[in-house]
Amino acid sequence: MFDTRVALNRKAGMKLTIAREQVDQGTDRKGRSQGVVFALRCQLELSTNESELVEKHRRDDYPLGQVTDRQGDPRESIITLSRLRQGFGMQTTYVSDAQQTEEMIKEACKDFSSLLVTLATYGGQEEVEF
């Protein structure tokens, strides 16, 4: 029979912390504003069970996404699970770049959460009748 019990405690699951900041760049010699830099910092925390699954299945270098600049060139390159657990940060003069990166990271964490459930429950047998 197919065992569908989830070995993860979803209430104490992964937690993504996102910090946003606007840094004023000051003024030039004529007193004009030099604009703002938008800073984004994200850090992912895993539960003990999730950390054990990551270690068991060697998924610490799992690629979550890639950050690109406005021309499509890699800026910070690949964001891996280990990099996000250590804390990922970026600065940009375009708020839309920070927003796009934040959304990509959120979506990647949702996808990775589903992968962890699959890793925890994979096995057994399923019978499908039609």
The predicted structure's pLDDT at residue 120: 87
pLDDT tens for residues 68-102?
A: 766 565 555 789 999 999 999 999 989 998 999 99
Q: What is the 3-state secondary structure (H, E, C) of the chain?
A: CCCCCCCCCHHHCCEEEEEEEEEECCECCCCCECCEEEEEEEEEECCHHHHHHHHHCCCCCCEEEEEECCCCCEEEEEEEHHHHHHCEEEEECCHHHHHHHHHHHHHHHHHHHHHHHHHHHCCCCCCCCC
Domain boundaries, the chain: 35-74+81-121
Q: What is the pLDDT of residue 73?
A: 59
pTM: 0.77
pLDDT digits (tens, 9 = 90+) for 15-74: 999 999 998 887 888 878 788 999 999 999 999 999 999 999 999 999 999 887 665 655
